[in-house]
Each structure stands twice: as structure tokens, then as C-alpha cells.
Amino acid sequence: MHNQSPAADPKSNPNPPAASPVSSPNGPDWWLMMKAFLKQGRRIASFAPSSRFMARKVIDGINWDSARCIVELGAGTGPITAETVKRLRPHTKLVVIELDPTLCSRLKARFPNVSNVEIIQGDATKFDVLLAERGISQVDHVLSGLPLPSFPEELRHAVLETSSRTLAEGGTFRQLTVMPLIYYKMYCRYFDDVRFRFVPLNLPPGGVYVCRGFRPGYTD
């Protein structure tokens, strides 16, 4: 039988060493986004991080007192995450899903000690599985930075249909875009209520679709 030193026994060491912080990838956010855009093309919504004006518009109108769970899909380097974290109540959980490993590392390094924020490297088109693994069956809002119009129809429908199944009553699906109003009719085919908020102070200028009332029978 092997002897265990007191320092290695968590019961005998009430103050174990803290976990090593996640190292952040080198380079500014805009450079990481540009590299991801050049590498992945249409899987990345924009070549630059969202401005603070765009980030604030995405979450504008959320009732923070009643929200229990918010999901962010395709967070990039985290400008929307940062604005959301500022407003989170202790009872609200934020689940952030980002597929690109470099961008995910930046997110984990940027938000290392926020107890009610979980950052996951994973496929946002399967976010229902990721939520189920964590015992989450319902969310209040879905914030999407995914380039949904460029997704294959079945993947786009998977994201939107999963959102509709998991959204609580009164919940919203919020989609940012850098191509204002071009895809407005497409979102109207998926949702009964689609409202567009223009954001000129962004690179490039864009906006946010705030959607309610998913139409489950819709296909392209």
C-alpha cells in the first residue's frame, strides 16, 4: 500500500493549490478573429469582433431578474460575453459555446473566475446535447453569433429548432448580422415575430434580429 503525503490529500489540505490559469493565445482580438475568418471562411460570421455597441444591442431588453439560463453560440473572442457577464445576476447561468480552439482558449483566459459562466469548446449545431449533458432543459435566451445564412439548411434548421424547443415562454432567439436586413425574410419564415435593430457603429455596420414564435413546420 502506497503512502500518501498530507499535501496530496485534499482532506488534510484545506487550501489546495489553485488550478493553473488558462493561457491566452498571442495577439489582439481582431487578429485572432481575422485568422479564424481566413481559416474557416463561412463558419465565422465576421472578420472582426463585434463592437461594444453591437454587443449591448444583442442583449438589450433582457429581463436579468427573471433570466435563469442564457446560451451564447459562436462567441468569438467574447465581446457579447463580456457585456452579458457585466449584467448577470448570481442566479443566472451563462453557457458559452465556441467551436474554434484558439478563440475558445481566449474566452477561457478572459473569463477565468466567473462561477456562473461555463465556456465549452463544441459544435453549436448540437448545443441541445451539450445542454442535456449539464442537466439543462430550458433556457431564457439564445444569443447567436453564428453565420446561419451560410450554413447548410439542415444545420441552420437544427440550431433554430433546438432553440425553439429549449426556450422558455417569453424567451428570445437573438441573431447578430453584419448584412443588415438582407436575410430578414428568411428569419420571418422561421419565426412569427422578427424585429431588427440596426447598429451603425460596428465594423462592418450590422444589426440584431430579435425573434420569437418559432414555426416548427418550416423547411427551405
**Distance from C-alpha of 9 to C-alpha of 179, rounded to nearest angstrom:** 56
Helix then strand then coil, in percent of the chain rounded to 5, is 35, 25, 40
Q: Which H or E run contains 36?
A: helix 29-40
Residue ranges of domains in the chain, CATH in brackets? 27-214 (3.40.50.150)
Is there a contact between 119 and 111 (Cβ–Cβ < 8 Å)?
A: yes
pTM score, whole prediction: 0.79
Is there a contact between 207 and 199 (Cβ–Cβ < 8 Å)?
A: yes
pLDDT in tens, 164-202: 899 999 999 999 998 888 999 999 999 999 999 999 998
> Which grid coordinates belong to 44?
465565422
The average confidence (pLDDT) of the chain is 83
Pairing mode, strands 206-214 and 167-177: antiparallel
How many beta carbons lie within 10 A of that of residue 83, not counting itself?
Answer: 19
Q: 27: number of CA atoms within 13 Å, CB side?
A: 13
pLDDT in tens, 42-83: 554 454 678 999 999 999 999 999 999 999 999 988 999 999
**55: alpha, beta or left? (left if phi > 0; alpha if psi -120 to 50):** alpha
- Residue 216: pLDDT band with limits 50, 70, 90: confident
pLDDT value at residue 180: 87
DSSP E strands, the chain: 69-73, 93-98, 117-121, 139-144, 167-177, 191-199, 206-214
